[in-house]
Structure 1
């Protein structure tokens, strides 16, 4: 606060943000997403914010997050992978190499770091290091394993707030685009709303929350794809470049195309006008192989055989995504 302002009742105005100085100059521009760049140049995730990518297992969440880490390295920046799911350094680095990460950058500890925290002390030490190291992208995989590391419950708002304050918020304050991976519960109501557990998770998202739903199952040698929908966008910088009309507009389609045996071509295709992701929030059959097999058996028993997705939806009373996945698998089995 300007020194010319007389103190009132002993108030120390230096403790408060100087709004007058802000308004006297140019107001800062609204934040815009910086990582997870689509083919049209618009990005998904915000720098300096906690972002969320959530969905079912095997839906492509980790692929999307690592894609952003690779992007940071390509831009000459730094990336940290905080692997609490114990995916392993080998598989993680292999995925990043397949998506075009530079070997020298991955080998350089001033550019890329990978860690599996052993306990909360280890995790807190890593976060303290990042204040100096200055990561551009941090992948936290996953929130479901980070909370137990602190003896915290996913359903407790207080527990989550403690972990957010100790781990996630400091990483964002260090300037990083923090991409936290989280999972969906099995309850239909909570799945529609967002990730499982306390609603404090959603409130803590300062950037964007992206729902990741498998489109084509991610399989070795074949690639895969996933719908990316906007569950929350605090600043509106992503939603402004998405089709309007849906509660969760489609932000893009993440695609992994096989280029050669060891090389994948990752892209995020921008949504077309009027394009949307399936509105069915039920558990994806592609994420549950046993249920997919049961659905295929159910279609095999239909007389007459199923003709289309609409036919399956009508006769089986299934949602569109479930019908599409089951019908595709049934046709593949019928042709084999």
Structure 2
């Protein structure tokens, strides 16, 4: 069976017209997947694990695994699309092709950003396909159309922007794990089977404290990923004439080859990179993905520091060390360390209390940037 056939529907006609699709004269039966797998390469030591080869950090470490499904999640305007387009520009410059499936933006917006990043116009013409679906994949000849694009270009990278909108277009429920899995089987997995690294661009849940590693919607969005999931935490806003900064953390790494190039963090998510985008104007932007550099200064448990600052912000009166510990919970030594760092960096002020007690008050809102 050829590559386009996998997207074809079983019926011989559709919409009253014959299906214009070249079919192999004697199509082969599907390869059985319920038979025992050959384990010899694992047993004899010749098996090599997959390594990320698509996209690049500034030191050459890849971002995405070929033939696997990934997710890039973050808040609105946190740089998800810019992050993906930087990888697109990298693939085009390397001589590879890209198919961009977009349920959110439009061609001028996406191509304009690519040009601002310095992508070559001829490379875009020759090796970049932009798809803006207006109807379900199951409608008309849409399956054949995307199959043709994938077959012609053989892309190494396929970003899918706007998963929420894409699922809604297909009548699927965002919070239903069965529907999340169905969307993956319908679109994402077949694309990955072409050999491309697939990366969905998605939103995180609104609750910062309770979001953990999850994108908005069903938990299967995380469970169904067989590549990596990145969470983008914006530090400085992006915009024309601004230099934006986003921390890139690893929430999942199924093949296990990315975390060794990252640093552990108090949140439990490994710090993989800092994404910096410097916008000179609407036509020129510089993007870089810097490797994490271990801080040689004092230990900063930023996750606990956030909790301590929040406790002080909501307390009606200044708090003693014990009062902070009672409200934050967790390890007392970690809370003491976080409180001490907040004092040292000027986020928290200390004033005397009754019987020699030290009372703490939030002096200014806490940010993870080191206070000057």
Q: Fold match, TM over 0.5?
A: yes
Closer, same or farther in 2 for the Cα pair 1:145/1:309, shift >3 Å?
farther
Residues 70-124 of structure 1 deviation map (CA, whole Å, 9 limit, x = unaligned): 1110110111111101x2111111110111211001122xx11001101113654
Greater C-alpha radius of gyration: 2
Closer, same or farther in 2 for the Cα pair 1:24/1:259, shift >3 Å?
same
In structure 2, how many angstroms separate the alpha carbons of the residues matched to 1:204 and 1:33?
Answer: 18
Closer, same or farther in 2 for the Cα pair 1:310/1:80, shift >3 Å?
same
What residue ranges of structure 1 are gaps of 5+ in the alignment? 1-12, 283-294, 296-306, 329-336
1:26-65 alignment, distance < 5 Å: 27-65=46-84
In structure 2, how many angstroms separate the alpha carbons of the residues matched to 1:220 and 1:36?
Answer: 24
Query: Secondary structure of 1:145's partner?
Result: helix
State the 1:259 CA deviation.
Answer: 5.8
TM-score, normalising length: structure 1: 0.76
In structure 1, how many angstroms separate the alpha carbons of the residues matched to 2:64 and 2:301?
Answer: 19
For the pair 1:136 / 2:156, whether they are aligned, the reply is yes
1:241-260 alignment, distance < 5 Å: 241-244=261-264, 246=266, 247-258=268-279
In structure 1, how many angstroms separate the alpha carbons of the residues matched to 2:33 and 2:54?
Answer: 35
Displaced runs of 4 or more, over 6 A: none
Match of 1:99 among 94, 117, 120: 117
In structure 1, how many angstroms separate the alpha carbons of the residues matched to 2:51 and 2:286?
Answer: 25
State the 1:142 CA deviation.
Answer: 1.4
2:348 maps to: 311
Confirm or deny: 8 A CA contact 2:240 2:281 kept in the other structure: no
TM-score, normalising length: structure 2: 0.69
In structure 2, how many angstroms separate the alpha carbons of the residues matched to 1:308 and 1:187?
Answer: 27
2:103 maps to: 84
2:132 maps to: 116
Residues 297-336 of structure 1 deviation map (CA, whole Å, 9 limit, x = unaligned): xxxxxxxxxx966239952796535xx69x99xxxxxxxx
Q: How many residues align?
A: 287
Structure 1 stretch displaced more, 310-319 or 116-125: 310-319
In structure 1, how many angstroms separate the alpha carbons of the residues matched to 2:111 and 2:213?
Answer: 33
State the 1:22 CA deviation.
Answer: 3.4
2:172 maps to: 152
1:210-225 alignment, distance < 5 Å: 210-225=230-245
Residues 27-73 of structure 1 deviation map (CA, whole Å, 9 limit, x = unaligned): 33111112331111112222211111001000001000111111110
Query: Secondary structure of 1:120's partner?
Result: coil
What residue ranges of structure 2 are gaps of 5+ in the alignment? 1-31, 307-312, 314-343, 350-359
Closer, same or farther in 2 for the Cα pair 1:51/1:255, shift >3 Å?
same
In structure 1, how many angstroms separate the alpha carbons of the residues matched to 2:91 and 2:228?
Answer: 18
1:176 maps to: 196
Confirm or deny: 8 A CA contact 2:236 2:245 kept in the other structure: yes
State the 1:188 CA deviation.
Answer: 4.0
